[in-house]
Amino acid sequence: MKLVAILGSKGGTGKTTLAHTLSYGATLAGYPTTLVHTDQRPPVKGSRPYDYVDCSRNYAQITKLIKDRADDEGYLVIDGAGNRPHLDLWLTGSMDLVLVPVTNSAEDVRCALQDLARFDDPRVRVIINRWPANRLVRMVMQRYVNELPDSRVAGLLPEVGGVRVFLEDQDWETPSTKVNNQARRLFRLVENNLNTVAELPPFDKSAGVTRVSVP
Ligand SMILES: Nc1ncnc2c1ncn2[C@@H]1O[C@H](COP(=O)(O)OP(=O)(O)OP(=O)(O)O)[C@@H](O)[C@H]1O
Ligand SMILES: [Mg+2]
């Protein structure tokens, strides 16, 4: 099973949205997928085409899921929520890939650079989220993006208004073509990044990261 966490110290960057988008993309690609909710706020209500597990009150459940499903095919996607450095550090040490979203703000880039320094491992990568369609807005965002080290940028995802459906408390309905394409795009991006990090040695635990202890 592939383990992917979407996290970061900055709020509102799209962690939850991307966790759902990726889970849906993996489902469309035919993989059994579980999305793990860790936020203290309640999970989104309503059915989803992937498993959706609330581990916000019991992080040990995440360890159990990882252990129980280690040999399964498919994806475990973790919505890391915001501002929980200890949980993020613990999750980071257990993942195959960690994505830290950045949107169009200097503050997002500043926080992401701090996160990259904190989790100094090539498996932790920034994903540029909400890449604007408008050329002038894109020029502004490009200036921020230029501050990020190329080797730690996973790729970019466009702004797609329809992705709000992922966070709505309602039963699942097939989303618009744009949302489906976004989900497929994010899944491909994740697969490509997983391929490039596949040969790396395990996380350097001397950096204070442990794979098994629960915060
Ligand atoms: N690619 C995107 N295109 C358009 N809107 C987006 C995109 N990604 C996220 N959003 C919007 O950004 C807002 C914040 O997203 P989200 O709640 O997923 O962020 P978060 O990082 O999980 O926030 P928090 O830190 O509060 O948990 C939402 O309104 C969501 O619809
Ligand atoms: Mg969230």
Domains and CATH numbers, the chain: 2-197 (3.40.50.300)
Residues with CB under 5 A from ligand 2 (ion): 15-16
Q: How far is the CA of 59 from the centre of ligand 2 (A)?
A: 16
The pLDDT value recorded for residue 211 is 44
Average pLDDT, the chain: 90
Calpha distance 173→46 (Å, rounded): 10
Per-residue pLDDT of 109-159, as tens digits, reads 999 999 999 888 899 999 999 999 999 999 999 999 999 999 999 999 999
Q: Indicate the SS3 state at residue 97.
A: strand
Lateral strand order in the sheet of 97-102: 51-54, 33-37, 75-79, 2-6, 97-102, 124-131, 153-158
Calpha distance 15→130 (Å, rounded): 12
Percent of the chain with pLDDT over 90: 73
Protein residues whose CB sits closer than 6 Å to any atom of ligand 1:
11-17, 39, 81-82, 129-130, 157, 159-161, 163-164, 167
Mutation choice for ligand 1 from 7, 9, 15, 17, CB with most ligand atoms inside 8 A: 17
Alpha helices in 6-157 (DSSP H): 15-28, 60-68, 85-94, 106-118, 135-145
pTM above 0.85, yes or no: yes
